Structure 1
Amino acid sequence: MRQQDQGELSFGAGPVEPPAEFQPREDALTREHLRILFLSSLGGVLEFYDFVIFVFLARTIGFLFFPADEPEWLRDVQAFGLFAAGYLARPLGGIIMAHYGDRDGRKRVFTFSVLLMAVPTLLIGLMPTYAVLGVAAPMLLLLMRVLQGAAIGGEAPGGWVFVAEHAPPGRQGTALGLLTAGLTGGILLGSVVATLTTILAGEPALRAWAWRVPFLLGGVFGLGAMVLRRWLRETPVFAALRNQHRLASDGAPAVRVLREHRRGMLTSMSCTWMLTAAIVVVILMTPTLLPRLSGVTPANAQRSILLASLFLTLSAMTVGVAVDRWGPRRVGSVLIPLFVLATYDLFGDLSGWPLPLRAVLAGTGAGLVSLVPVAMVRCFPPAVRFSGLSLSYNLAYAVCGGVTPPLVAWLATLGRFHPAHYVAVACAAGLSSLLFSRLPAAVPASSSPAP
């Protein structure tokens, strides 16, 4: 008897396979898969932190970057308008990066998006305010938000495509859920840093200098994330397409998407609207909305949404695992209606439960965001997957994400339930897309990409 190089046992006639229970499952997540997920998620955490820290400090930014004699509500709307400008820039950055991602490889674009986010974040932390530059200050801030929007336009679609094409077919929901949890973890990190900065510095110091600290930290750590992503390798799906000369070489991949995959775009855009409502309204805007709608203190609202962000991250992972077991339609049919009810309770206090508990339920329901990438990566074939996902996701986010903050801020002046009405309509569109779309069972295996 001798030990084979591959770990098999031989008794003369040939190799003897180890017992089935000791053989690795084809759909198991290996150490290499987990390493890729870790590095991808870490970059996503820092990039989404850089993008959303702005909204958690929106009131302070509005005070510092717009005339002090303006009404407070107008400064809030203008600050949210600057935040929304980042969404309006997403399609351009996303489409350009997706074009090169489908033509030259996923890895390069995935690394570049972090750099494009980190540099403007660092510059915002160093930027003079309205008191120093006058009207040039908000204009420069607008430019930085446009650059950040271009970066985030490539980050989320690129990350979802990257991990889906690395993961085993039976674990793609889990992989996408883990990465989405990393992206939402960036929102959680932004909420934690903003809360600690506000509490530890106090209002005078926050307006004087402390508001810069979260941006400076985000810029420095974002540059570190770019270095770490250099250790990633190209996806097996793209490598197979390149080796088989099946890349989208006949014109721009986005044009092919518009010509051949309009149904997939419609499904992806409807799901993105639902994701936008869950993240922008329930997580990002609630710290500003709740004090106005319910009379809670800003500090209590911030702490409650911190809890919501934590349970959003945990729920995003759980939903990804559930999708692998029961599929996106079944999971969505249960989770989406529960999320809508939790949103009404969050803004209207229907149950009489304490605010932290209502925020936990809303954050848990917001884990539905993991359903969105699962649906979208299945809507497009590998040769144009990055472009198809990026085009539909970013166009929808540019419209919905750009309109949502000022629209919901205005709706909140009409009644406390109006933001929840908006969330309900968006979720109805997302659930309808999941139920009536023609989604394949899974992303094709990496060894045999679909044409």
Structure 2
Amino acid sequence: MTATAARMKAGQATHWRAIIAASIGNALEWFDFVIYGFFAATIAKLFFPVGNEKISLLLALATFGVTFFMRPLGAIVLGSFADRYGRKAALVLTMLAMMVGTAIIAFAPTYASIGIFATFLIVLARLIQGFSAGGEFGSATVFLAEQNPSRRGFYSSWQFASQAVTTILATGFGAAMAGLLDQSQLEAWGWRLPFFAGLLIGPVGYYIRRHLDETKEFKSSVISQSPLRETLVDSRKMLIIALGAVILCTVAMYTILFMPIYATRQLGLPASGSYMATLITGAIQLVLLPIFGAWSDKIGRTPVAIVSAIILTLAAYPLFVWLASSPTLQTLIIVQGVMGVLMAGYMGSLPAFMSELFPTRLRTTGLSVSYAFGVALFGGFAPFINAWLIQITGSNVAPSYYLTFAGIVSLAAMFAARRAGFR
């Protein structure tokens, strides 16, 4: 083997270690979020027992969403930290915080044991996780995007691909537990098992992240002493564009997360089957996201994303009409499969697109803040908003309204980026 070939092989190995390091922390974050959403009904009974099943579920879903209030704070603090002290340092810090939040949920006594303090513990854990997640997306995405600028789309697409892995793992847990455990076993101890499993991921991710190399782009950049102020002053337009582009991504993702609850409560489908449909969606995204990311390295960031967003926006209402009129497992799988393909087309180039909106010295702050505010304002409460829309309209088609709105806003952001010269 020549010296050049050896260096290329070593470089590829380094890049793949970076993908694993960034993905494993992102997987832990999203595993916990997805599991909490899947077991929201059980958690509602154990930690929010108000005597009304619907209100109890809404409270649990609101607690799912309240973590997103902490995301902007985490984005501001940890995003600025990453731009000043390095992507690696921020990745280690977010991993530690996420492990703390997961441990609190896994070991929290229920309301029946310690009363309102149990509710407080769950809310505290979710706030810690929200703070961590606020910095995780920007730090991990930028770390991936800076591995190889010529393949930025491919490497950064693993940010969302790792979320697809999480969807597969979490829905696998959900399907298995729904099939193997009865409701009393789930409420007694079964719901804790996925959180314990998440805790096993944490130490591995922490170790890997501690032994990473900092990115060359960061080491060669001029460090900003006030990245948040510079971002708000010098990159305000790009910040708004990035936030707008995130909206469809986050609303679609959390609508998919809502689907198992929707399928069982609104359509009367078995829980195991509805989990299986979401698992298939995750598998589709895992395969397609890196492909679309790599494609964006050749043809540009926006073409496929815009086409996918247009189709998803136009198809949302007809898909839910079909599902509501033909509530079968087969229909659910097809609907979620179509959404999975279109979401992969939109999201495959999105991390690279957002990375290139900001200069290196402000990149993590810009990504973290735009993503966190987009998720906090539009995505985190998507399950709650969808449940609320169904309740006030009495229509099982209601989730499509919010998805259509998100598509229109994100398309406007994408076209604004193209007018600004980004392709």
Report if TM-score (shorter chain) is over 0.5: yes
Name the residue aligned to 1:338: 311
1:373 paired residue number: 351
- 1:133 aligned onto 2:114: yes
Maintained 8 Å contact 2:147/2:215: yes
Instruction: Give the superposition deviation at 1:58.
Output: 0.5
CA distance in 2, matches of 1:218, 1:72: 28
What amino acid sits opposite 2:303 in the alignment?
R
Counterpart for residue 247 of structure 1: 223
Corresponding residue of 2:402: 422
Residue equivalent to 1:17: none
Gaps of 5+ in 1: 8-21, 443-451
Higher Cα Rg: structure 1 or 2? Answer: 1
How far did 1:23 drift? 12
Give the Cα–Cα distance (whole angstroms) in 2 for the partners of residues 209 and 163 of structure 1: 37
Q: How many Å apart are 1:240 and its aligned residue?
A: 0.6
Q: Does 1:46 align with 2:28?
A: yes
C-alpha distance in structure 2 between counterparts of 1:142 and 1:46, whole Å: 18
2:368 counterpart (390, 395, 417): 390
Instruction: Tell me what 1:290 maps to.
Output: 263
Deviation at 1:296, TM superposition (A): 2.2
Alpha-carbon distance change, 346 to 287 in structure 1, aligned in 2, over 3 angstroms: farther
Residue number among 13, 34, 41 corresponding to 1:31 in the alignment:
13
- The answer to whether residue 245 in structure 2 is matched with residue 264 in structure 1 is no
Larger helix proportion of the pair = 2
2:338 corresponds, among 349, 361, 365, to 361
| 1:102 alignment partner in structure 2 | 83
Once the two structures are superposed, what CA deviation does each residue of 1:75-99 show, in whole Å capped at 9, x if it has no partner? 1111101100111111111211111
Between 1:261-270 and 1:322-331, the stretch displaced more is 322-331
Q: How many residues of Structure 1 are paired with residues of Structure 2 in the alignment? A: 415
Q: 1:379 Cα shift? A: 1.1
Q: What is the CA–CA distance in structure 2 between the aligned matches of 1:401 and 1:375, rounded to whole Å?
A: 19
Deviation at 1:441, TM superposition (A): 6.1
Could you tell me whether the CA contact under 8 Å between 1:342 and 1:358 is conserved in 2?
no
Residues 172-187 of structure 1 mapped to structure 2, 5 A cutoff: 172-187=152-167
Determine the structure 2 residue equivalent to 1:404. Answer: 382
Distance in 2 between residues matched to 1:24 and 1:333, nearest whole Å: 38
Question: Is this contact kept in 2: 1:345–1:358, CA < 8 A?
Answer: no
Task: Report deviation, 1:318.
Answer: 2.1
Q: Report the secondary structure of 1:328's partner residue.
A: coil
- Give, as a single letter, the amino acid of the residue that structure 1 aligns with 2:223: L
* Matched residue type, 1:78: L
**Inter-partner Cα distance in structure 1 for 2:238 and 2:6:** 38
Distance verdict in 2 for CA 1:427–1:23, change over 3 Å: farther
Which residue number corresponds to residue 104 of structure 2?
Answer: 123
- Is residue 167–residue 279 contact of structure 2 (8 Å, CA) maintained in 1? no
Is residue 310 of structure 1 aligned with residue 283 of structure 2?
yes
RMSD: 2.4
Does residue 58 of the first structure (1) align with residue 40 of the second (2)?
yes
Q: Measure the CA separation in 1 of the matches of 2:241 and 2:232.
A: 13
Please tell me whether the aligned partners of residues 342 and 362 of structure 1 are also in contact (alpha carbons under 8 angstroms). Answer: no
Matching residue of 1:448: none
Question: 2: CA distance between counterparts of 1:291 and 1:89?
Answer: 30
* CA distances 1:391-426 after superposition (whole Å, capped 9, x unpaired): 121122211134423222111221122211111111
Distance 1:260 1:371 in 2: 24
Normalising by the residue count of structure 1, what TM-score does the alignment of the two structures yield?
Answer: 0.86
Do the aligned partners of residues 184 and 157 (structure 1) sit closer, same or farther apart at CA in structure 2, a change above 3 Å counting?
Answer: farther
Q: Do the aligned residues in 2 keep the contact of 1:273 with 1:396 (CA within 8 Å)?
A: yes
Establish whether residue 349 from structure 1 lines up as the match of residue 322 from structure 2.
yes
Given the superposition, is the C-alpha separation of residues 6 and 120 from structure 1 closer, same or farther in structure 2, using an over 3 Å criterion?
A: closer
**What is the CA-CA distance between 1:6 and the residue it aligns to?**
4.3
Instruction: Report deviation, 1:341.
Output: 4.8
> Shift of residue 179 of structure 1?
2.9
Q: Residue type matched to 1:247 in 2?
A: I
- Structure 1 residues 198 and 307: CA distance shift in structure 2, 3 A: same
* Amino acid in the other structure paired with 2:38: F
Any gaps of 5 or more consecutive residues in structure 2? none
Cα deviation for residue 121 of structure 1 reads: 0.6
More deviation in 117-126 or 179-188?
179-188
CA distance in 1, matches of 2:109, 2:118: 7
Describe the superposition over 1:368-404 as per-residue Cα deviations: whole angstroms up to 9, x where unpaired: 2233212211111011111111112112221113442
Mean Cα deviation higher: 150-159 or 326-335: 326-335
**Distance in structure 2 (CA, Å) of the matches to 1:384 and 1:398:** 21
Q: How far, CA to CA, are the matches of 1:202 and 1:292 in structure 2?
A: 17
